[in-house]
Structure 1
């Protein structure tokens, strides 16, 4: 830090927006005071523990640098012994407009609309967000139905890139995000716990919007619609058509150096953790618990022309050489997918040393003709249901040195999810006795 770096304090309990905000003795009272500031590299925004910022939000459009990131975090409440992370309870506020600027890879996906986010980082870079609790419930919105097709998308944290080319250095760490009541149907809007997207630039002479050096770690995400954690869908999907994905396409249009680790996602409405359009992302030491809670006829009732009534736990989309290791996925709810892991339309996906347990759609799917060079090695599947694997029209998956504990009557290949080609080497299938389940 330098003498030019500033620290701003905010306390819902002890602050006043007429204060200077520059010390814990004179904190601001609201996040509205922060949203009015022009932040500089190295600035810090500290929210007091035990504060609850109801109906408030943060919208950050400024950037730090690699050596001087903008940090948004917490500070101790010295008036109480018990410390609780500061809460930003957006309650449907923090509204911004998202527009991909083009059709998405399927005409059934929503491409534009209003979004409510507890925290929005828009065209910002080198920002660290940590040690906060975020909610965005719709329970106080009069007349809103939970499964309404036109319901606004909501996010705990939304990150969007559009008009400044590559956005680097986004770190989301030790966040508690829960009760985000977004749109049940919109897969690729900023909709869920944490969602990052790249939108088509409207400024002239702008390089492609994309992300580099993204870290999401140590976050707890619970009861969110629709996604748990997603990084990061892009308007530039056309650059990734076909099965063989070139590194050059990612260096121009995709995301680089994405790490998602040590997160726990529980009771997500749809998918738990997904990395998209990324070159060599690493997804490790994460846990998905009871994903796909809303992908059923009871809740998913009015999709209209939207597609996508499918969800899995931890998986990539259109990535090259994605690495998934030391993850755990349990109790993913049954739907057309419903498995723990899914190598989906990517080139060189590797799953190694992962564990799955009682996922109602099985252990792993190799999804369709553009899922090439997939490897599934040294993993353990325990009592996964419906069928252990789903080789769905994929050309060349390798399964090696895995151990599958299977109850009687569960087929190795899931019914109606076959047709693909796979090779097994040194896999072991062990029949479970009833008392072992």
Structure 2
């Protein structure tokens, strides 16, 4: 077993970036085939727009080669199953897409086949720009796009992009949706040859009106930690399961999943998965399930998503926006917006023998219901920090607690979170440590450093989308600004993208730079005249001068109290030839040490009068930093001391 704590503090310190395998340098070559549902002819060559094929039967008879493309005429409809043969190669996938203008080509299963599109045991395939349906009101479970593999080893290079998958049939009832039915279903069967997908990309699709799941993946190569089989509705024989062999590098990005009957996005048996920039709306229209959940999953990053409208099914049920479920380790849930979900924001529960662990940070939960956070079986090592939770005074869904525990979770921490609790909800404490959270309204749990001042948020509760969260920004004078604990590896940014200052705010949104107060200057050289504060007061009429006997080198440090980008430093000085700095280093603070950005820069002054001169020193590259240090190595010393009026960065 790997060290979860080491991974949580190191590997998840920054947002996960997953890169698809690089293609080969050579250009993809191959043949393009055309399909026209009305004017085509299956006896034609199919290799031009004037000699297209007509039916899916003809397309399915062909064995495609690397680099081939099959194009369906825009506006056409094909009934039945698209089940092609032949794989592509790295850098030369086989692609199914459209040609012409008009609506997406429509593959209509029409309840005649289990899956409208089936990619079985194929490598390096791309589906792009198709409409897919599979239902005519039947209660039989159906699938839109099914990607299936069995006992063939690694399966690289599957891309599903720009698809509109909808009207997928099944049983419309309150209860458990069938995980064998989905708009997009990726599955692995068998137990003789370890089989798994690598570098799969599912992006920019719309999945709607499915009776079961939106997007789901699962594999029979899943046994570990006491978890021995998948869900009963799959009817997989007990002898078919094998040891854990996850699919790797899966990216689920930019999809719109809405009005589906069960879970919205649900990867299982995966490692190093990235789920980002998706919108999941009303993911449980007929059942109780979760917007985005994952199980049998290591190092899952869930970020920049919006989930709303999950229905309430009852206390203790999985009907939240996000769920780190059975056999999950080192999950990172960050920069998401959850709102109006009947079951709450986040649940952690592991059905295996090993504990679930996660970091949950810089998210906003607005008017979620039930239990906002739920920690259940085998939860151990969940760090919840810098989130903002808003619960209004007139909820439209049942509400119980901000934090709820079941079955003895352990090592759950809440730090730097901001709770606007107008509904006066309580907090469970068993297995949870609270420290340095800001509480506005409602009871305050045992917190070793509770903050109860006014957060002075701009417009809490008024957000309308993930890109409309400025209402949670603390205004000047907020008790949240600068009140956060320093947390190593905190990602470096807030939910709006602002660079985190040295002293972070409590909550998911930082204040504007001006809300942190004026920069603070200090010096190692002492003061003979004026004040060191004068160098950052914005006035060139005020100045600082050292004592006459100052020893060089010496330094002036400016703490901006928030990160900012610095490209140059301007020195403003009067009597430059008498007291001005002539050779300096510019250093910046990286959070743990000073780094010299410009060394031995020469400064030349033209005059020696009360007229202020300015000299600008430009850094080789701009730097994001919260502190700047000017090291003075040499200066004009006509009167023994040295001086400067203003130090300005740009």
Q: Distance in 1 between matches of 2:284 and 2:185?
A: 17
Aligned residue among 117, 120, 130 for 1:119: 117
Structure 1 match to 2:262: 270
Deviations 1:353-397 (A, max 9, x none): 111001000011011464422111010000001121111131221
Residue 77 of structure 2 corresponds to residue 86 of structure 1? no
Aligned residue among 358, 367, 384 for 1:399: 384
Structure 2 match to 1:207: 193
Q: Distance in 2 between matches of 1:314 and 1:278?
A: 14
Structure 2 match to 1:225: 211
Structure 1 match to 2:83: 59
Q: Distance in 2 between matches of 1:197 and 1:158?
A: 8
SS at match of 1:237: strand
Give 1:278 deviation, angstroms.
1.0
Structure 1 match to 2:465: none
Change over 3 Å in CA distance of 1:240–1:368 after alignment to 2: closer
Q: Which runs of 5+ in 1 are unaligned?
A: 78-82, 95-115, 243-249, 296-309
Give 1:432 deviation, angstroms.
4.8
Give 1:195 deviation, angstroms.
0.7
Aligned residue among 88, 94, 115 for 1:70: 94
Aligned residue among 152, 158, 164 for 1:176: 164
SS at match of 1:32: helix
SS at match of 1:361: coil
Give 1:222 deviation, angstroms.
0.4
Aligned residue among 277, 285, 293 for 1:285: 277
| Contact 2:260–2:283, Cα closer than 8 Å, also in 1 | yes
Give 1:217 deviation, angstroms.
0.2
Aligned residue among 370, 376, 382 for 2:366: 382
SS at match of 1:322: strand
Residue 344 of structure 2 corresponds to residue 344 of structure 1? no
Q: Distance in 2 between matches of 1:418 and 1:2?
A: 56
Change over 3 Å in CA distance of 1:226–1:254 after alignment to 2: same
Answer 1 or 2: higher relative contact order, Cα 8 Å, separation at least 6.
1
Residue 220 of structure 2 corresponds to residue 235 of structure 1? yes
| Contact 2:331–2:358, Cα closer than 8 Å, also in 1 | yes
Residue 250 of structure 2 corresponds to residue 258 of structure 1? yes
Instruction: Map residues 416-435 of structure 1 onto 2, 5 A cutoff.
Output: 417=406, 419-421=408-410, 422-432=412-422
| Contact 1:402–1:427, Cα closer than 8 Å, also in 2 | yes
TM-score (norm 2): 0.55
Give 1:399 deviation, angstroms.
0.6
Give 1:436 deviation, angstroms.
5.0
Structure 1 match to 2:239: none
Q: Distance in 1 between matches of 2:369 and 2:90?
A: 46
Higher alpha-carbon deviation: 342-351 or 10-19: 10-19
SS at match of 1:8: strand
Give 1:16 deviation, angstroms.
1.7
Q: Distance in 1 between matches of 2:153 and 2:359?
A: 33
Q: Distance in 2 between matches of 1:236 and 1:172?
A: 23
Q: Which runs of 5+ in 2 are unaligned?
A: 1-25, 228-241, 424-459, 463-650
| Contact 2:385–2:417, Cα closer than 8 Å, also in 1 | yes
Structure 1 match to 2:47: 22
Give 1:418 deviation, angstroms.
6.7
Change over 3 Å in CA distance of 1:430–1:45 after alignment to 2: same
Change over 3 Å in CA distance of 1:69–1:183 after alignment to 2: farther
Deviations 1:65-112 (A, max 9, x none): 0111000000014xxxxx111111110233xxxxxxxxxxxxxxxxxx
Structure 1 match to 2:341: 359
Paired positions, count = 374
Q: Distance in 2 between matches of 1:3 and 1:234?
A: 31
Q: Distance in 2 between matches of 1:395 and 1:2?
A: 49
SS at match of 2:324: strand
Higher alpha-carbon deviation: 318-327 or 419-428: 419-428
| Contact 1:49–1:76, Cα closer than 8 Å, also in 2 | yes
